[in-house]
Amino acid sequence: MVKEHVTLAEAWNILKSNVSRELCVETVPVNQSFGRALSSDVIACRNIPHFNASAVDGYAVRSERTAGATAATPVTLMAGYEWVNTGMPVNSEYDSVLMVEDSSMENGELTIIKSLTAGENVRPIGEDVSIGQVAAKKYDIISPALAALFIALGFPDAHVFRLPRTIYIPTGDEIVGASDWTSYEEAPPYGKTAESNSTMITGYFRNWGFPIDCVDTVADDPEKIVEILEEVHGKYDLILIGAGSAKGEKDYTSSILREYGEVFFHWLLMKPARPAMFGRYKNCYVVNLPGFPMSSAAALWSVAYPLLKILHTGSFDEDSALSEAVCSCSEDELPLLIAHSSPAGKAEWVRLKAVELDGKKTVYPLSPGASTMWAIAEADGVSVLPASQIECQKGARIKVYFTRRIEWSKRILFQGSNDPAFERLGSYVRKYGGELVTRSVGSLGGLAALSRGEAHVASCHLFDGESGKYNDSYIEKMRGDNKWKRILLFWREQGIIVREGNPLGINGIEDFTRDDVSIINRQPGAGTRVLLDFMLRERGILPEQVKGYYHQSITHFDAANRVAAGLASATIAIRVAARGRAPDSQLSFIPITVEPYELVIPEKYLDHKGIIALLKALQDSEWRAQVDNMGGYRWENA
Amino acid sequence: MVKEHVTLAEAWNILKSNVSRELCVETVPVNQSFGRALSSDVIACRNIPHFNASAVDGYAVRSERTAGATAATPVTLMAGYEWVNTGMPVNSEYDSVLMVEDSSMENGELTIIKSLTAGENVRPIGEDVSIGQVAAKKYDIISPALAALFIALGFPDAHVFRLPRTIYIPTGDEIVGASDWTSYEEAPPYGKTAESNSTMITGYFRNWGFPIDCVDTVADDPEKIVEILEEVHGKYDLILIGAGSAKGEKDYTSSILREYGEVFFHWLLMKPARPAMFGRYKNCYVVNLPGFPMSSAAALWSVAYPLLKILHTGSFDEDSALSEAVCSCSEDELPLLIAHSSPAGKAEWVRLKAVELDGKKTVYPLSPGASTMWAIAEADGVSVLPASQIECQKGARIKVYFTRRIEWSKRILFQGSNDPAFERLGSYVRKYGGELVTRSVGSLGGLAALSRGEAHVASCHLFDGESGKYNDSYIEKMRGDNKWKRILLFWREQGIIVREGNPLGINGIEDFTRDDVSIINRQPGAGTRVLLDFMLRERGILPEQVKGYYHQSITHFDAANRVAAGLASATIAIRVAARGRAPDSQLSFIPITVEPYELVIPEKYLDHKGIIALLKALQDSEWRAQVDNMGGYRWENA
């Protein structure tokens, strides 16, 4: 009986009630057992230490021979003592060790200034571990220290649960294997997509300590899919199938499993990973991971990992399964820096960046697209917003699984105008001991964030038509009583970007009113949009007269890409956005103006480690050379 | 110039100012690059996607042809549309995709009920990553998702920092290599110790992702040590030497390095790991790890790991270095359950167990011995108490680096009388979904802990001489107004444990007053001590008449071990403590009495997951069979 549209809790119950098998046990050498789970208690068969060992450097003696010894009333011995180093045996004729500090030795005469009790400074047999003691328990994970303890106890091998065996089968006519994909000199074939999920999945299995095999991509062909299932099912405990469980024309996995195997659940009330499916093909469990990278990751974390834990040790811990699955290095409950709208009726995986502002740790979500790989790689952590959480207000606290260690005190948040040259600054800020997190919100958005205390640094290039000057009036209005330092970073060339060779003959803003021209604009508050608005006003053109005025993009590159892709005829952007493009998406640039690009930093942050690093990085000649190379920039003092 | 007796902060400064070398870079295939640090920014040379891709399943159309379409005023097309699955290309004649939900199709006629804008439901070229964009920054660690992104961007290889090369050289005449050590059928040779540190160190390097080689143990012979240094220094970046830097007779490493190399610092103001040393032999850095397991671990974490980070990427983060070094999975600041006395003038590494009591997370230190391997393996986490922290009161908050994930809601703390049969219960409690943490504090200590709210379960076997009954009067006194459930678990045989064959002819408590007899007693509050006190009183014997009365041990096994080791003639303990011993430390048991061993559980914990599991485990026939096998136990209803 297939359960459809299940919550994660329901999915986990289905896993628990449908997966049952004899757990397999194997014996591995201790020095290859790190990270493995013990399949039985380990009872000590030797004592540690296995002899009475001295705990100090000094003289082994019989304690009764030291009776009454003090500095004032020393006792001397001519015989009946023996030097021992720390860890050396205390022979049976002795019962204690005199610390060298409590003795003096001259011509074989030992002078004792402290009286000892039996056993003093002796680590007796079995002090650390005694024969019969439980040295480690079934299900314990073998840590470096536990492995060392096993060696000390004389065990060459450890009895552990056999690791579950998994195979990943990517499917899809449009999917090209990694080695072919990376071999293309120029752009890869039109309409094709890289098979990169197996790389990601392999990485997670490596982190989890589970083995995985991957096969080449299988075409969207039911016969081929059944063929590979038939071939592999006997050799593995778990088959992961990539894609094919959604509602597309070529999604066959679900119907195949329903026909030849068994489906326990299909469709997860989760975004992304909605088409996730769990079933069985003969004796082998099957999980379907949807094809989009973030969907695949979400299903891997939410379904495949808990299942692997059951296959490995018979159960999984609901409280920590997701944290373990995403390989979290710490957890926290932190407030959102910005509001987030989550879909109703579904749990949502969000990818988060983290920053500390004025002593308050906070997180904000990155792009929510299931197809976006960059946001998974860029995220500092993830969160699963429960289905009940629909509108998350700014400040709402969410549980964060951090997937990298955050150096909070070094990290600064930039909000402001998107600029590709500034974007290159990241590793230079690191070089000087800081960490730069950038968020493109446009010039006005950046200044507003700064005024709300939600950024350490902003940038702007805002033209004021009334004064004819850049930035001054905007900054004055936004900063209130705060002191803000302004740094004129560079001048940038703005212009009209059109397809290569300017096929529509667009020569100026005037042409934006033409019927055959549609533009892609930037978001409200972007300096580039403010510039366009000014130029339109200057020419008496109303926004409504410009086709595409309300279509927007939040970066120069993205706007340029939409022109290159034929989704718009023109956009306003900086020169670099038209450069360095693939042969089939070349663009032309028609210069309009040169504008100042300013950084704005509240003075209270000038001694922040991250800001200090940023200011140093701005002077780095290597970065400056890179910017010169990009073109379209002029330094403030040039 | 050697700095001696340095703090950890000073040691780190010495590392930073003395380690400088050109960082090495290498190129590795992306699918082998997980966990490696990028040696340069990665700038995208391809767009993702590299074509306009559909974001939905539906029909690619020109947006202007959908103008005005609504459910009430549908638009129909006979041509000029094309079905696309999610992710498939939207060809250049189209600029948008109509979702299948917003359409119907009959005999080739497409009915459209929604008006589209240009670009709608299209993921344009470069939406995820654009050519020229910084896809990843220098020093980024290659995560599974980043590796996948590199593949999608067409990079077969990644440029990463070469990993530092390390060799570990254990030294010591008394140290026996792991393979010899684990091959002994019976007890290993007298006075020898296992070389188990290389196992632990290898485990940490594996977790850190750094390679390490280990050589066989080198004897305490300056020539041999110089020989091996000479042999390996050219092939490695870092040499770790095990032991030999303390003040013992055979500690040569420090003097060798001072003579043939350079010592930057020696003696760390840290407990343990005091003899840690850092220097250089020719071009190779050298860290000396003291020999005791916990000393070795502390020096490894505190000195070797930060040094490796410098060798790898040029720097390390002081805020997170220790957390990374111990492979912490989470951090917290938690109160101490018990007071802890830390040495003055030194930082102290403590090993901690963690438990949540009445919603309050708390930790307590395990045995502080540098030689204790068990406590490292048993710990849930570690902490470094700063030198300034000398007397830590109960409730004092300390920073904890957790080294395993804690299932707080399942975990219960047992405090009470030590019992080897009860100790075996741990994995059975796990079997039923709980986690048992045991702390031996004696019967009275357990009841007192229970009354202070510092345990979930206690145990006792306390004889009341006045009433002639066990436990009743003690429990009545301690429980106050609280309701405690009592479970008579089993009856245990108590007796006198003497060396095999009873060479001193000890036949009863009366013999404890003999001049040639000395005992090892249990700690105040232990039920066994209460029993001894009663028997002495009954016979009119004063404690002062019993040699060794004030020498104490906290477990039955430890007390028996001291007898076996010749440190005492007799002790009172349960039968199992005399059993299953190595051939050279056999004991005899002289029965005295049979006593009831009771568990006591506050009623408010009866619905705690861990207590529920404990109660189930007590009925487990496999555990009961184990106990029957141990001998000296009788079930309550038997």
- What is the distance, to the nearest Å, from the Cα of residue B569 to the centroid of all Cα atoms in its chain? 38
Angular region, A525: left φ>0, alpha ψ -120 to 50, beta rest: left
Angular region, A408: left φ>0, alpha ψ -120 to 50, beta rest: alpha
What DSSP state is assigned to residue B81? -
Closest-approach residue (CA) in chain A for B57: A248
Q: Which of B199, B305, B515, B627 to mutate to test the interface with A (most CBs of A within 10 A)?
A: B199
Q: Omega before A211 cis (within 30°)?
A: no
**CB–CB of A430 and B371 under 8 A?**
no
Q: What is the DSSP track for A231-254? A: HHGGG-SEEEEES--SSSTT--HH
Query: Is the confidence at residue B9, as pLDDT, over 90?
Result: yes
pLDDT band at B368 (very low <50, low <70, confident <90, very high): confident
Query: Is the confidence at residue A429, as pLDDT, over 90?
Result: yes
From the list A137, A145, A373, the residue facing B148 with the nearest CB is A373
Q: Which of A371, A407, A629 to mutate to test the interface with B (most CBs of B within 10 A)?
A: A371
Q: Which residues is A54 bridged to in the sheet?
A: A122
3-class state of residue A91 by DSSP: coil
- Tell me which chain B residues have a C-beta less than 8 angstroms from the C-beta of A328: 329-330
**CB–CB of A86 and B246 under 8 A?**
yes
- Tell me which chain A residues have a C-beta less than 8 angstroms from the C-beta of B352: none
Residue A313 tokens, joined: 């040790």
pLDDT tens by residue, B127-181: 899 888 999 999 999 999 999 999 999 999 999 999 999 999 999 999 999 999 9
Query: Is the confidence at residue A290, as pLDDT, over 70?
Result: yes
Average pLDDT, chain A: 94
The alpha carbon torsion through A537, A541, A544, A548 (nearest 10 deg) reads: -90
To the nearest whole Å, the CA of A241 is away from the closest chain B CA by 17
**CB–CB of A118 and B568 under 8 A?**
yes
**CB–CB of A371 and B320 under 8 A?**
no
pLDDT tens by residue, A551-589: 888 889 889 988 988 889 999 999 999 987 777 778 999
Closest-approach residue (CA) in chain B for A34: B203
Residue B168: phi and psi, rounded to 5, are -110, 130
Query: Is the confidence at residue A152, as pLDDT, over 90?
Result: yes
For residue B175, the model assigns a pLDDT of 95
Average pLDDT, chain B: 94
Query: Is the confidence at residue B638, as pLDDT, over 60?
Result: no
To the nearest whole Å, the CA of B263 is away from the closest chain A CA by 24
**Residue B109, number of CB atoms within 10 A of its CB:** 11
**CB–CB of A151 and B51 under 8 A?**
no
For residue A565, the model assigns a pLDDT of 83
From the list A144, A188, A551, the residue facing B200 with the nearest CB is A144
Question: What gap in Å lies between CA A75 and CA A56, rounded to an integer?
Answer: 20
pLDDT band at B48 (very low <50, low <70, confident <90, very high): very high
Residue B231 tokens, joined: 């042999």
- Tell me which chain B residues have a C-beta less than 8 angstroms from the C-beta of A151: 178, 181-182, 194-196, 199
**Strand pairing report for A53-54 and B347-357:** unpaired
To the nearest whole Å, the CA of B466 is away from the closest chain A CA by 34
Query: Is the confidence at residue B10, as pLDDT, over 90?
Result: yes
Query: Is the confidence at residue B350, as pLDDT, over 70?
Result: yes
pTM confidence score? 0.94
Helices B197-208 and A144-152, packing angle to 10 deg: 160
**CB–CB of A567 and B420 under 8 A?**
no
pLDDT band at B581 (very low <50, low <70, confident <90, very high): confident
* E-state strands within A449-524: 457-460, 463-464, 469-470, 484-499, 519-522
Give the pLDDT mean for A349-376.
Answer: 94
**CB–CB of A202 and B581 under 8 A?**
no
The residue length of chain A stands at 638
Query: Is the confidence at residue B390, as pLDDT, over 60?
Result: yes
**CB–CB of A568 and B118 under 8 A?**
yes
**CB–CB of B579 and A132 under 8 A?**
yes
Question: What gap in Å lies between CA B246 and CA A57, rounded to an integer?
Answer: 10
pLDDT band at A430 (very low <50, low <70, confident <90, very high): very high
**CB–CB of A328 and B329 under 8 A?**
yes
**CB–CB of B48 and A329 under 8 A?**
no
**CB–CB of A147 and B200 under 8 A?**
yes
From the list A138, A200, A430, the residue facing B145 with the nearest CB is A200
Of all residues in chain A, the percent with pLDDT exceeding 70 is 100
Closest CA to B629 of B421, B430, B428: B421
- Tell me which chain A residues have a C-beta less than 8 angstroms from the C-beta of B315: 433
